[in-house]
A and B are shown apart, each in its own frame.
Chain A
Amino acid sequence: MTPKEIIARRVARELKNGDVVNLGIGLPTLIPNYLEPGVDIVLQSENGFLGLGPLFGEADPCLVNAGGQPCGILPGGAFFDSAMSFALIRGGHVDVSVLGALQVDSQGNLANWMVPGKKVPGMGGAMDLVTGARHVIIAMEHCTKDGAAKILTQCTLPLTCVGKVHTIVTEMAVFRINNGLVLEELSPGVSIADVRSCTEAAFTVGPDCIDHVDSITEHTGSFSATPGGKR
């Protein structure tokens, strides 16, 4: 499995039957492929509908997802305008928002909409989603392509929100943000030391986090990785 598939599969386990979910473009769109049998979710598409589904048959130019790609709508779906769409999002009617990140930090701050002087695509609906959704999951590869840490003590890029992220899922680990960063779960074959070496932020290790790789490592306590540490 690729890192993206590992992440999508793990995020799928966070979703409960009946959840209304908004998936960001890119990696999060893989998640429905990995839902357990019996877990039916309703996907919200911020361009104006509920019941987003895969494209079946011919593409309809008037039916696209929030990334502009042709898609389908499932039985029970509904179309609406952008004000209704964001009333659903801000009003707490969306249970889970899954998004990617450039950086996320131990206070639950997120940066994912611009790199000053380089890339300014805009925030689209991301700021409303992270502010309004009941549960915010960041689904991202643990480090940048250059190997730099993305889970930081404090985000350095312009923020998307302050203190709204609940869960971070990477190909290496799952973190919860609960008065600081808590390592909850390791992927198979990954040790706490591995995670520490490529996570800039300090984190505590949750009681249920079992390190299968390095039995010497303490299961509680705080670790601080080298800033900008490489994998």
Chain B
Amino acid sequence: MNKCISLQEVKGLFKDGMTIMCGGFLGVGSPEGLVRELINNGAKNLTVISNDSAFPEMGVGQLIVNKRVVKLIASHIGTNPETGRQMIANELEVILVPQGTLAERIRCGGAGLGGVLTETGIGTLVEEGKIKLVSNSVKYLVELPLRADIAIIKAKKADRAGNLVYEKSARNFNPLMALAADRVIVEVDELVDTGEIDPETVVTPGVVIDNIVVAERY
């Protein structure tokens, strides 16, 4: 099965109203080429799940600036003033989730788990509307899984089977999102033949990757 597609082919996959997960932490480890195709595609009314809204000219921040997002689920929006502006103007719904809880909800979504219990957020605005449980005298919030229609992620290197290796702190949410969407598209700097990555060093197994695009060099 050939998973390798061109950025042109990617463009047709995005539809209005989709939920999109996007890897990256303040834009580091974001699939910039895929974000650009998503903008070129014109899909709108998107729900975006991402750690943060990066910067106006970087990562998912560009989707916010281009007004493609109606709902953002993230842990931090402070580096992109446009996110705050749209939120206050009621143009964008923002659901803020503690970063560790966000990671674990995405992991649950990809791991077939119905949710996770965490103490994080107890006694804060985060607990509003959530089920609480007491176990061993500790109060926990029940945090539910997150999934997406499409996850767009970034890795350093893939083989043609989709096995992935990441680079330094650009790993972040990418390996979690790789399991949590109906279609997972990875953008890589380097594509090698199947078998060229030592199975011992693979971080994300290729079976969860649907499509691979090679990043354009600038």
Give the interface segment out of B35-43, B72-80, B210-218. Answer: B72-80
- In terms of DSSP, what is the predominant structure of the interface of chain A? loop
CB atoms of A123 and B96 under 8 A apart: yes
* B171 partner, pick from A67, A80, A125, A127, beta carbons under 8 A: A80
Q: Counting CB contacts under 8 A, is A146 at the interface? A: no
Q: Counting CB contacts under 8 A, is A189 at the interface? A: no
Chain B residues with CB under 8 A of A131 = 118-122
List A18-64 residues whose CB lies under 8 Å from chain B: 45-49, 60-64
CB atoms of A45 and B169 under 8 A apart: yes
CB atoms of A125 and B98 under 8 A apart: yes
Q: How far is the CA of A49 from the CA of B174 in the complex (A)?
A: 14
Q: Assess A122 versus B78: contact at CB under 8 Å? Given A45-B169, A82-B172, A128-B101.
A: yes
Q: Counting CB contacts under 8 A, is A162 at the interface? A: yes
- B68 to chain A: closest CB distance in Å? 20
A-B pairs with beta carbons under 8 Å apart, 13 shown: A62-B167, A63-B168, A73-B168, A82-B25, A83-B103, A85-B103, A120-B87, A121-B76, A122-B74, A128-B98, A128-B99, A160-B124, A162-B124
Given contacts A119-B78, A124-B99, 14 further A-B contacts (CB under 8 A): A47-B26, A49-B169, A62-B167, A62-B170, A64-B26, A66-B25, A81-B176, A83-B107, A86-B104, A120-B77, A121-B78, A124-B52, A128-B120, A159-B123
Residues of chain B having any CB pair with chain A under 8 Å = 25-29, 51-52, 74-79, 84, 87, 94, 96, 98-104, 106-107, 118-126, 156, 166-176, 203
